[in-house]
Structure 1
Amino acid sequence: MSQDRISAHFHSSMEGMSRATQSSELLATLHTIARSIAEALKAGKKLLLIGNGGSAADAQHIAAEIVGRYKLERPAWAAIALTTDTSALTAISNDYSYEEVFARQVQGLGQPGDVLLGLTTSGKSPNILAAMKAARANGLVTVGFTGAKGESMRTFCDHVLIAPTEDTPVIQQIHLMSAHGICDQIEHMLTTEATKI
Protein backbone atom coordinates (compact mmCIF):
# COMPACT_ATOMS: atom_id res chain seq x y z
CA MET A 1 0.00 0.00 0.00
CA SER A 2 1.38 3.42 -0.95
CA GLN A 3 2.21 5.91 1.76
CA ASP A 4 -0.45 8.52 2.47
CA ARG A 5 1.63 11.62 1.76
CA ILE A 6 -1.14 14.02 2.72
CA SER A 7 -1.50 12.44 6.14
CA ALA A 8 2.29 12.41 6.52
CA HIS A 9 2.38 16.14 5.77
CA PHE A 10 -0.36 16.79 8.32
CA HIS A 11 1.61 14.90 10.96
CA SER A 12 4.84 16.73 10.09
CA SER A 13 3.01 20.06 10.29
CA MET A 14 1.44 19.21 13.64
CA GLU A 15 4.81 18.14 15.06
CA GLY A 16 6.41 21.41 13.94
CA MET A 17 3.53 23.49 15.29
CA SER A 18 3.68 21.59 18.58
CA ARG A 19 7.42 22.26 18.96
CA ALA A 20 6.80 25.95 18.23
CA THR A 21 3.93 26.15 20.73
CA GLN A 22 6.04 24.54 23.47
CA SER A 23 9.08 26.80 22.94
CA SER A 24 9.12 29.52 25.59
CA GLU A 25 12.01 31.19 23.74
CA LEU A 26 10.05 31.34 20.48
CA LEU A 27 6.96 32.73 22.21
CA ALA A 28 9.03 35.35 24.05
CA THR A 29 10.59 36.37 20.73
CA LEU A 30 7.15 36.75 19.17
CA HIS A 31 6.04 39.04 22.01
CA THR A 32 9.18 41.14 21.53
CA ILE A 33 8.60 41.38 17.78
CA ALA A 34 4.94 42.32 18.28
CA ARG A 35 5.93 45.03 20.75
CA SER A 36 8.57 46.44 18.36
CA ILE A 37 6.13 46.61 15.46
CA ALA A 38 3.35 48.06 17.64
CA GLU A 39 5.68 50.79 18.93
CA ALA A 40 6.67 51.68 15.37
CA LEU A 41 3.07 51.81 14.13
CA LYS A 42 1.99 53.85 17.17
CA ALA A 43 4.75 56.36 16.34
CA GLY A 44 3.48 56.71 12.77
CA LYS A 45 6.19 54.51 11.29
CA LYS A 46 5.66 51.63 8.86
CA LEU A 47 6.30 47.94 8.49
CA LEU A 48 8.16 46.83 5.35
CA LEU A 49 8.07 43.14 4.41
CA ILE A 50 10.18 41.04 2.05
CA GLY A 51 10.49 37.42 0.97
CA ASN A 52 10.97 35.16 -2.06
CA GLY A 53 8.47 32.68 -3.49
CA GLY A 54 6.06 31.44 -0.83
CA SER A 55 7.63 33.87 1.62
CA ALA A 56 6.80 36.72 -0.78
CA ALA A 57 3.17 35.64 -0.62
CA ASP A 58 3.39 35.57 3.18
CA ALA A 59 4.87 39.10 3.16
CA GLN A 60 1.89 40.32 1.16
CA HIS A 61 -0.53 38.46 3.41
CA ILE A 62 0.93 40.04 6.56
CA ALA A 63 0.95 43.52 5.02
CA ALA A 64 -2.73 43.14 4.17
CA GLU A 65 -3.57 42.17 7.77
CA ILE A 66 -1.84 45.33 9.05
CA VAL A 67 -3.26 47.80 6.51
CA GLY A 68 -6.74 46.29 6.46
CA ARG A 69 -7.48 44.51 9.67
CA TYR A 70 -6.83 41.21 11.36
CA LYS A 71 -9.91 40.78 13.57
CA LEU A 72 -10.70 44.16 15.15
CA GLU A 73 -12.17 47.31 13.66
CA ARG A 74 -9.47 49.94 14.06
CA PRO A 75 -7.54 52.58 12.05
CA ALA A 76 -5.43 51.43 9.12
CA TRP A 77 -1.70 51.11 9.81
CA ALA A 78 1.17 51.43 7.35
CA ALA A 79 2.62 48.21 5.93
CA ILE A 80 4.15 47.61 2.49
CA ALA A 81 5.22 44.31 0.95
CA LEU A 82 8.23 45.17 -1.23
CA THR A 83 7.45 42.09 -3.33
CA THR A 84 4.56 43.58 -5.30
CA ASP A 85 5.85 46.42 -7.51
CA THR A 86 6.77 44.62 -10.73
CA SER A 87 8.35 47.70 -12.30
CA ALA A 88 10.65 48.20 -9.30
CA LEU A 89 11.42 44.48 -9.04
CA THR A 90 12.31 44.11 -12.70
CA ALA A 91 14.15 47.42 -13.07
CA ILE A 92 16.33 46.90 -10.00
CA SER A 93 17.04 43.28 -10.93
CA ASN A 94 17.92 44.29 -14.49
CA ASP A 95 19.92 47.45 -13.74
CA TYR A 96 21.70 46.18 -10.62
CA SER A 97 21.14 42.55 -9.64
CA TYR A 98 18.48 40.41 -8.01
CA GLU A 99 20.52 40.58 -4.82
CA GLU A 100 19.71 44.32 -4.65
CA VAL A 101 15.99 43.97 -5.41
CA PHE A 102 14.89 44.65 -1.82
CA ALA A 103 17.88 46.62 -0.52
CA ARG A 104 17.32 49.34 -3.10
CA GLN A 105 13.66 49.65 -2.10
CA VAL A 106 14.59 49.78 1.58
CA GLN A 107 17.03 52.59 0.82
CA GLY A 108 14.33 54.53 -1.02
CA LEU A 109 11.34 53.85 1.21
CA GLY A 110 12.71 53.02 4.64
CA GLN A 111 12.95 55.67 7.34
CA PRO A 112 14.58 55.52 10.79
CA GLY A 113 12.20 53.81 13.19
CA ASP A 114 10.45 51.74 10.53
CA VAL A 115 10.53 47.95 10.85
CA LEU A 116 11.78 45.60 8.13
CA LEU A 117 10.52 42.03 8.38
CA GLY A 118 12.35 39.57 6.13
CA LEU A 119 11.15 36.00 5.62
CA THR A 120 13.65 33.39 4.42
CA THR A 121 13.26 29.72 5.28
CA SER A 122 16.99 29.10 4.79
CA GLY A 123 18.17 32.29 6.47
CA LYS A 124 20.68 32.66 3.64
CA SER A 125 18.84 34.41 0.80
CA PRO A 126 21.32 37.02 -0.49
CA ASN A 127 18.64 39.58 -1.36
CA ILE A 128 17.08 39.33 2.10
CA LEU A 129 20.44 39.71 3.86
CA ALA A 130 21.39 42.65 1.62
CA ALA A 131 18.11 44.34 2.55
CA MET A 132 18.78 43.74 6.26
CA LYS A 133 22.17 45.41 5.93
CA ALA A 134 20.60 48.38 4.12
CA ALA A 135 17.90 48.61 6.79
CA ARG A 136 20.42 48.68 9.63
CA ALA A 137 22.45 51.35 7.83
CA ASN A 138 19.28 53.46 7.58
CA GLY A 139 18.13 53.08 11.19
CA LEU A 140 15.33 50.55 10.73
CA VAL A 141 14.49 47.82 13.23
CA THR A 142 15.28 44.48 11.58
CA VAL A 143 13.23 41.31 12.11
CA GLY A 144 13.97 37.95 10.53
CA PHE A 145 11.73 34.91 10.16
CA THR A 146 13.68 31.76 9.28
CA GLY A 147 14.02 28.02 9.93
CA ALA A 148 16.25 25.75 11.99
CA LYS A 149 19.24 26.28 9.67
CA GLY A 150 18.95 30.07 9.74
CA GLU A 151 20.85 30.87 12.96
CA SER A 152 23.25 33.06 10.97
CA MET A 153 20.43 35.58 10.48
CA ARG A 154 21.05 36.76 14.03
CA THR A 155 24.06 38.67 12.65
CA PHE A 156 21.78 40.82 10.52
CA CYS A 157 18.66 41.18 12.66
CA ASP A 158 17.59 42.81 15.91
CA HIS A 159 15.01 40.03 16.43
CA VAL A 160 14.90 36.56 14.87
CA LEU A 161 12.10 34.00 14.87
CA ILE A 162 13.51 30.53 14.18
CA ALA A 163 10.88 27.94 13.29
CA PRO A 164 11.98 24.67 14.94
CA THR A 165 12.08 22.54 11.77
CA GLU A 166 14.09 22.13 8.57
CA ASP A 167 11.03 21.26 6.45
CA THR A 168 10.42 24.31 4.22
CA PRO A 169 6.60 24.04 3.98
CA VAL A 170 6.32 23.58 7.74
CA ILE A 171 8.64 26.55 8.33
CA GLN A 172 6.33 28.65 6.18
CA GLN A 173 3.28 27.44 8.09
CA ILE A 174 4.91 28.35 11.41
CA HIS A 175 5.85 31.76 9.99
CA LEU A 176 2.26 32.49 9.01
CA MET A 177 0.88 31.18 12.30
CA SER A 178 3.40 33.39 14.11
CA ALA A 179 2.51 36.40 11.98
CA HIS A 180 -1.18 35.94 12.77
CA GLY A 181 -0.35 35.80 16.47
CA ILE A 182 1.69 38.99 16.13
CA CYS A 183 -1.15 40.74 14.28
CA ASP A 184 -3.59 39.73 17.01
CA GLN A 185 -1.25 40.98 19.72
CA ILE A 186 -0.62 44.29 17.92
CA GLU A 187 -4.33 44.96 17.43
CA HIS A 188 -5.09 44.33 21.08
CA MET A 189 -2.11 46.37 22.28
CA LEU A 190 -2.90 49.42 20.15
CA THR A 191 -6.69 49.36 20.40
CA THR A 192 -6.54 48.88 24.18
CA GLU A 193 -4.16 51.85 24.46
CA ALA A 194 -6.42 53.98 22.25
CA THR A 195 -9.42 53.14 24.44
CA LYS A 196 -7.56 54.32 27.54
CA ILE A 197 -6.78 57.73 26.08
Structure 2
Amino acid sequence: MTESPRETIERSLNDAAEGLARLRGEPALLDAIQRFAGAVVKAFSSGGKVLACGNGGSMSDAMHFAEEFSGRYRKDRKPLPALALNDPAHITCTANDYGFEYVFSRQVEALGKQGDVLLAISTSGNSPNVINAVVEAKKHGMVSVGLLGKGGGRLAELVDLPVIVPGETADRIQELHIKILHIVIEIVERNLVPENYEDS
Protein backbone atom coordinates (compact mmCIF):
# COMPACT_ATOMS: atom_id res chain seq x y z
CA MET A 1 0.00 0.00 0.00
CA THR A 2 1.29 3.45 -0.90
CA GLU A 3 1.87 5.60 2.17
CA SER A 4 0.68 9.18 2.32
CA PRO A 5 3.13 12.12 2.41
CA ARG A 6 2.36 12.61 6.11
CA GLU A 7 3.07 8.93 6.78
CA THR A 8 6.37 9.24 4.92
CA ILE A 9 7.32 12.27 7.02
CA GLU A 10 6.45 10.54 10.29
CA ARG A 11 8.18 7.29 9.34
CA SER A 12 11.31 9.13 8.28
CA LEU A 13 11.46 11.09 11.53
CA ASN A 14 10.85 7.93 13.54
CA ASP A 15 13.64 6.16 11.66
CA ALA A 16 16.01 9.06 12.36
CA ALA A 17 15.08 9.09 16.06
CA GLU A 18 15.61 5.34 16.27
CA GLY A 19 19.05 5.71 14.69
CA LEU A 20 20.07 8.35 17.21
CA ALA A 21 18.80 6.18 20.06
CA ARG A 22 20.86 3.24 18.80
CA LEU A 23 23.89 5.50 18.48
CA ARG A 24 23.48 6.75 22.03
CA GLY A 25 23.00 3.22 23.32
CA GLU A 26 26.33 1.83 22.10
CA PRO A 27 29.11 2.74 24.57
CA ALA A 28 31.84 1.37 22.28
CA LEU A 29 30.67 3.63 19.49
CA LEU A 30 30.59 6.65 21.80
CA ASP A 31 34.16 5.79 22.84
CA ALA A 32 35.16 5.65 19.17
CA ILE A 33 33.69 9.12 18.57
CA GLN A 34 35.67 10.42 21.54
CA ARG A 35 38.89 8.92 20.13
CA PHE A 36 38.10 10.48 16.74
CA ALA A 37 37.79 13.90 18.34
CA GLY A 38 40.94 13.33 20.36
CA ALA A 39 42.92 12.53 17.22
CA VAL A 40 41.79 15.79 15.62
CA VAL A 41 42.66 17.79 18.75
CA LYS A 42 46.12 16.23 18.81
CA ALA A 43 46.70 16.95 15.12
CA PHE A 44 45.69 20.59 15.38
CA SER A 45 47.61 21.06 18.64
CA SER A 46 50.83 19.74 17.10
CA GLY A 47 50.70 21.74 13.88
CA GLY A 48 49.02 19.06 11.80
CA LYS A 49 45.93 19.16 9.64
CA VAL A 50 42.88 17.14 8.70
CA LEU A 51 42.22 15.79 5.21
CA ALA A 52 38.79 14.35 4.43
CA CYS A 53 37.39 12.33 1.56
CA GLY A 54 34.33 10.38 0.45
CA ASN A 55 32.05 9.86 -2.53
CA GLY A 56 28.74 11.55 -3.29
CA GLY A 57 26.94 12.46 -0.08
CA SER A 58 30.00 11.37 1.88
CA MET A 59 32.09 13.92 -0.02
CA SER A 60 29.49 16.53 0.90
CA ASP A 61 29.97 15.50 4.54
CA ALA A 62 33.77 15.71 4.12
CA MET A 63 33.42 19.23 2.73
CA HIS A 64 31.05 20.24 5.52
CA PHE A 65 33.42 18.92 8.17
CA ALA A 66 36.43 20.72 6.69
CA GLU A 67 34.72 24.07 6.22
CA GLU A 68 33.48 24.13 9.81
CA PHE A 69 37.16 24.14 10.83
CA SER A 70 38.69 26.36 8.14
CA GLY A 71 35.71 28.71 8.23
CA ARG A 72 33.78 28.76 11.49
CA TYR A 73 31.30 26.72 13.51
CA ARG A 74 29.20 28.66 16.03
CA LYS A 75 31.45 31.58 16.97
CA ASP A 76 34.47 33.40 15.57
CA ARG A 77 37.87 31.85 16.16
CA LYS A 78 41.15 31.27 14.39
CA PRO A 79 40.71 29.06 11.30
CA LEU A 80 41.94 25.50 11.66
CA PRO A 81 43.72 23.57 8.87
CA ALA A 82 41.21 21.14 7.38
CA LEU A 83 40.71 20.32 3.71
CA ALA A 84 38.31 18.13 1.77
CA LEU A 85 39.99 16.36 -1.15
CA ASN A 86 37.46 17.64 -3.67
CA ASP A 87 39.43 19.71 -6.19
CA PRO A 88 37.57 19.00 -9.46
CA ALA A 89 40.61 19.69 -11.65
CA HIS A 90 42.70 17.20 -9.68
CA ILE A 91 39.91 14.62 -9.60
CA THR A 92 39.26 14.73 -13.35
CA CYS A 93 42.97 14.77 -14.17
CA THR A 94 43.75 11.80 -11.95
CA ALA A 95 40.64 9.87 -12.96
CA ASN A 96 41.51 10.37 -16.62
CA ASP A 97 45.23 9.61 -16.38
CA TYR A 98 45.40 7.04 -13.57
CA GLY A 99 41.88 5.88 -12.71
CA PHE A 100 39.11 7.01 -10.39
CA GLU A 101 40.37 4.73 -7.65
CA TYR A 102 43.39 7.05 -7.20
CA VAL A 103 41.66 10.44 -7.03
CA PHE A 104 42.11 10.70 -3.25
CA SER A 105 45.34 8.77 -2.71
CA ARG A 106 47.28 11.05 -5.05
CA GLN A 107 46.20 14.05 -2.99
CA VAL A 108 47.12 12.28 0.24
CA GLU A 109 50.53 11.50 -1.25
CA ALA A 110 51.01 15.17 -2.13
CA LEU A 111 49.63 16.76 1.03
CA GLY A 112 49.76 14.24 3.88
CA LYS A 113 52.35 14.46 6.65
CA GLN A 114 53.08 12.47 9.77
CA GLY A 115 50.71 13.55 12.53
CA ASP A 116 47.94 14.61 10.15
CA VAL A 117 44.51 12.99 10.26
CA LEU A 118 42.73 11.46 7.28
CA LEU A 119 38.98 11.21 7.66
CA ALA A 120 37.72 8.50 5.31
CA ILE A 121 33.93 8.55 4.96
CA SER A 122 32.10 5.64 3.35
CA THR A 123 28.62 4.31 4.06
CA SER A 124 29.66 0.86 2.81
CA GLY A 125 33.29 0.86 3.89
CA ASN A 126 34.25 -0.60 0.53
CA SER A 127 34.90 2.40 -1.76
CA PRO A 128 38.15 1.62 -3.64
CA ASN A 129 39.30 5.24 -3.88
CA VAL A 130 38.76 5.78 -0.16
CA ILE A 131 40.55 2.51 0.64
CA ASN A 132 43.53 3.62 -1.45
CA ALA A 133 43.60 6.95 0.39
CA VAL A 134 43.86 5.12 3.72
CA VAL A 135 46.63 2.88 2.43
CA GLU A 136 48.54 5.96 1.27
CA ALA A 137 47.94 7.74 4.59
CA LYS A 138 49.60 4.88 6.45
CA LYS A 139 52.75 5.37 4.35
CA HIS A 140 52.97 8.94 5.63
CA GLY A 141 52.38 8.21 9.30
CA MET A 142 48.94 9.80 9.30
CA VAL A 143 46.16 8.76 11.66
CA SER A 144 43.23 7.37 9.67
CA VAL A 145 39.66 7.62 10.92
CA GLY A 146 36.90 5.72 9.14
CA LEU A 147 33.36 7.07 9.44
CA LEU A 148 31.48 4.03 8.23
CA GLY A 149 28.23 2.06 8.10
CA LYS A 150 26.92 -1.40 7.18
CA GLY A 151 29.40 -3.20 9.42
CA GLY A 152 32.36 -1.13 8.27
CA GLY A 153 33.35 -3.12 5.19
CA ARG A 154 37.03 -3.40 4.28
CA LEU A 155 37.84 -0.03 5.77
CA ALA A 156 36.98 -1.22 9.26
CA GLU A 157 40.13 -3.35 9.24
CA LEU A 158 42.34 -0.77 7.52
CA VAL A 159 41.78 2.45 9.45
CA ASP A 160 43.34 3.23 12.81
CA LEU A 161 40.03 4.43 14.30
CA PRO A 162 36.84 2.90 12.88
CA VAL A 163 33.58 4.67 13.74
CA ILE A 164 30.83 2.37 12.50
CA VAL A 165 27.26 3.59 12.84
CA PRO A 166 24.15 1.38 12.86
CA GLY A 167 21.97 1.39 9.76
CA GLU A 168 21.57 -0.37 6.45
CA THR A 169 20.61 2.42 4.03
CA ALA A 170 22.94 5.21 2.94
CA ASP A 171 20.55 8.00 3.88
CA ARG A 172 20.12 6.89 7.48
CA ILE A 173 23.85 6.22 7.83
CA GLN A 174 24.66 9.69 6.50
CA GLU A 175 22.24 11.29 8.95
CA LEU A 176 24.20 9.74 11.81
CA HIS A 177 27.50 10.65 10.17
CA ILE A 178 26.70 14.36 10.08
CA LYS A 179 25.58 14.25 13.72
CA ILE A 180 28.87 12.65 14.70
CA LEU A 181 30.83 15.23 12.72
CA HIS A 182 29.09 18.07 14.52
CA ILE A 183 29.78 16.41 17.86
CA VAL A 184 33.47 16.04 16.99
CA ILE A 185 33.71 19.68 15.91
CA GLU A 186 32.23 20.80 19.23
CA ILE A 187 34.59 18.59 21.25
CA VAL A 188 37.56 19.94 19.30
CA GLU A 189 36.48 23.54 19.84
CA ARG A 190 35.82 22.97 23.54
CA ASN A 191 39.43 21.78 23.82
CA LEU A 192 41.09 24.42 21.65
CA VAL A 193 38.86 27.47 22.15
CA PRO A 194 37.07 26.86 25.47
CA GLU A 195 36.23 30.54 25.76
CA ASN A 196 33.68 30.05 22.97
CA TYR A 197 31.70 27.81 25.32
CA GLU A 198 31.90 29.72 28.59
CA ASP A 199 28.19 30.56 28.44
CA SER A 200 27.01 27.04 27.53
TM-score normalised by the shorter chain: which range applies? over 0.9
Q: CA RMSD in A?
A: 1.5
Other structure's SS at 2:78 match: coil
For normalisation by structure 2, the TM-score amounts to 0.92
5 Å matches for 1:86-101? 86-101=88-103
Matched, 1:11 2:14: yes
Shift of 1:166: 1.0
Stretch of structure 1 that moved more, 7-16 or 52-61: 7-16
Matched to 1:152, the amino acid is: R
* Helix, strand or coil at the partner of 2:150: coil
For residues 190 and 152 of structure 1, the distance between their equivalents in structure 2, rounded to whole angstroms, comes to 33
Quote the offset at 1:28 in angstroms.
Answer: 0.8
Q: Which runs of 4+ in 1 moved over 3 A?
A: none
What is the alpha-carbon distance in structure 2 between the residues aligned to residue 90 and residue 148 of structure 1?
29
In the TM superposition, what are the counterparts of 1:54-73 in structure 2 within 5 Å?
54-73=57-76
What's the CA shift for 1:154?
2.5
How many residues are matched?
A: 193
Q: Aligned pair 1:138/2:140, yes or no?
A: yes
Shift of 1:124: 0.3
| Alpha carbons 1:64, 1:79 under 8 Å: kept | yes
For 2:153 and 2:85, locate their aligned partners in 1 and report how far apart those are by CA, in whole Å. 24
1:36 paired with 2:42, answer no
What is the DSSP-based 3-state SS (H/G/I as helix, E as strand, rest coil) of the residue aligned with 2:154?
Answer: helix
Partner amino acid, structure 2, of 1:2: T
Does the aligned pair in 1 maintain the 2:125–2:156 contact within 8 Å? no
Per-residue CA deviation, residues 98-149 of structure 1 (Å, 9 max, x unaligned), is: 0000000100011111100011000000000010000001111000001133
- Conservation of the 8 A alpha-carbon contact between 1:68 and 1:76: yes
Q: Which moved more, 1:68-77 or 1:173-182?
A: 68-77
Give me the whole-angstrom Cα distance separating, in 1, the residues matched to 2:154 and 2:88.
30
| 1:82 corresponds to which of 80, 85, 101 | 85
When the two structures are superposed, what TM-score results if normalisation uses the length of structure 1?
Answer: 0.93
**Deviations 1:1-27, CA, capped at 9 Å, x for gaps:** 731223222211111111001211111
What residue ranges of structure 1 are gaps of 5+ in the alignment? Answer: none
Structure 2: tracts of 5 or more residues without a match? 196-200
Hey, what's the Cα distance between the residues in 2 that align with 1:154 and 1:52?
Answer: 17
